[in-house]
């Protein structure tokens, strides 16, 4: 079963029985407020925003957003106040607004807020290429610079869990490298062979894990045919797990800015899902990310 389109994720959010409390850390951003106002009007969310009260009011006024449906949490510590709202049960989903990623991750890792569950926190992006009818996950595109082998195990497991939460019970996962061959001069290929061995032992549950695979082999069947390389994942990857942040971030942004695509992202590995993309994102991308995070809530996914 393929990953859902963003239209399908939005339809799922529309069908939800109740709005979900979503708190934006650093809400003084027009696209954050517009996305939350739209999602609230659709019945998806009950929005809360943290930040300087005067800035929130000014940004909302300039963006034409009515804040009457919002719970405002004025503060000089937007990340910490947002995590307090999660800990108190006032919200179930965290959203990154105008705040630096390190500040948000520090708050997530603060034991006072109960979000640490012993896993590596990473960013996963759902990419949709409509003209090829393809959807695939990419990770870690935003947090861990040079993951260790144990961290890569957790990122691989978490990526599989996201795919399963989205309705793909046995995802096909490509462990990505610059080559499809084991090369001791490229340490990531050695680690990929170990990850594949662990997958064959069932350490990551129900998934088809193959690698090392180059991006073209993970994405295009014709690349496999030309290189005489076959496999369940070749040309059909539901998820691509990269060896480091540099390769993942460059790849995802190259696709975002050059391809006809739709995308959204979240942080995974904390107790609550985190709507997480760039501060440069538009309203549609924030709504995509919100629909993705809502679908990955434990109550929704059964995780």
- Domains belonging to the chain, first-starting first, are 1-117+270-303 (3.40.50.10950), 121-265 (3.40.718.10)
Cβ-proximal residues to 229 (8 Å cutoff; 6+ apart), any chain: 180, 217
Give CA–CA dist 157/170, Å, rounded.
Answer: 12
Instruction: Give the closest residue to 45 by CA, choosing from 11, 73, 28, 70.
Output: 70
- pLDDT, tens digit only, all 303 positions of the chain: 799 999 999 999 999 889 999 999 999 999 999 999 999 999 999 999 999 989 999 999 999 999 999 999 999 999 999 999 999 999 999 999 999 989 999 999 999 999 999 999 999 999 999 999 999 999 999 999 999 999 999 999 999 999 999 999 999 999 999 999 999 999 999 999 999 999 999 999 999 999 999 999 999 999 989 999 999 999 999 999 999 999 999 999 999 999 999 999 999 999 999 999 877 789 999 999 999 999 998 765 544
Give CA–CA dist 118/121, Å, rounded.
Answer: 9
What's the pLDDT score for residue 182? Answer: 93
> Whole-prediction pTM value?
0.95
Instruction: Give the closest residue to 211 by CA, choosing from 198, 192, 228, 227.
Output: 192
Asked if 46 and 21 touch (Cβ cutoff 8 Å), the reply is yes
**CB burial string 95-125: b at 16+ within 10 A, e below:** bbbbbeeebbbebbeeeebebeeebbbbbbb
Give the Å distances, CA to CA, from 52 to 37, 74, 75, 76, 253. Answer: 19, 5, 5, 6, 31
């Amino acid at each position: 079963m393929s990953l859902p389109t963003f239209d399908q994720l939005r339809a799922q959010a529309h069908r939800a029985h109740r709005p979900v409390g979503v708190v934006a850390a650093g809400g003084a951003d027009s696209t954050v407020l517009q996305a939350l106002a739209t999602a609230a009007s659709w019945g998806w969310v009950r929005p809360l925003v943290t930040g300087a009260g005067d800035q929130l009011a000014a940004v909302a006024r300039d963006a034409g957003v009515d804040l009457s449906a919002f719970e405002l949490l004025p503060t000089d510590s937007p990340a910490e106040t947002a995590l307090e709202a999660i800990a108190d049960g006032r919200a179930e989903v965290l959203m990154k607004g105008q705040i630096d990623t390190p500040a948000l991750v520090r708050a997530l890792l603060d034991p006072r807020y109960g979000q640490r569950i012993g896993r590596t926190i990473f960013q996963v992006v759902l990419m949709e290429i409509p003209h090829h009818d393809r959807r695939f996950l990419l990770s870690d595109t935003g947090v861990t610079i040079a993951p260790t082998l144990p961290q890569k195990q957790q990122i691989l497991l978490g990526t599989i869990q996201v795919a399963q939460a989205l309705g793909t019970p046995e995802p096909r996962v490509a462990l990505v490298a610059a080559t499809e061959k084991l090369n001791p001069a490229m340490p990531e290929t050695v680690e990929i062979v170990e990850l594949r061995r662990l997958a064959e032992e069932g350490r990551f549950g129900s998934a088809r894990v193959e690698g090392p695979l180059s991006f073209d082999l993970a994405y295009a069947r014709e690349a496999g045919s030309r290189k005489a390389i076959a496999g369940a994942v070749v040309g059909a990857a539901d998820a691509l797990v990269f060896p480091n942040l540099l390769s993942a971030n460059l790849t995802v942004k190259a696709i975002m800015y050059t391809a006809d695509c739709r995308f959204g992202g979240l942080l995974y590995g904390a107790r609550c899902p985190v709507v997480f993309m760039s501060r440069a994102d538009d309203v549609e991308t924030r709504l995509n990310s919100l629909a993705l995070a809502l679908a990955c809530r434990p109550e929704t996914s059964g995780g």
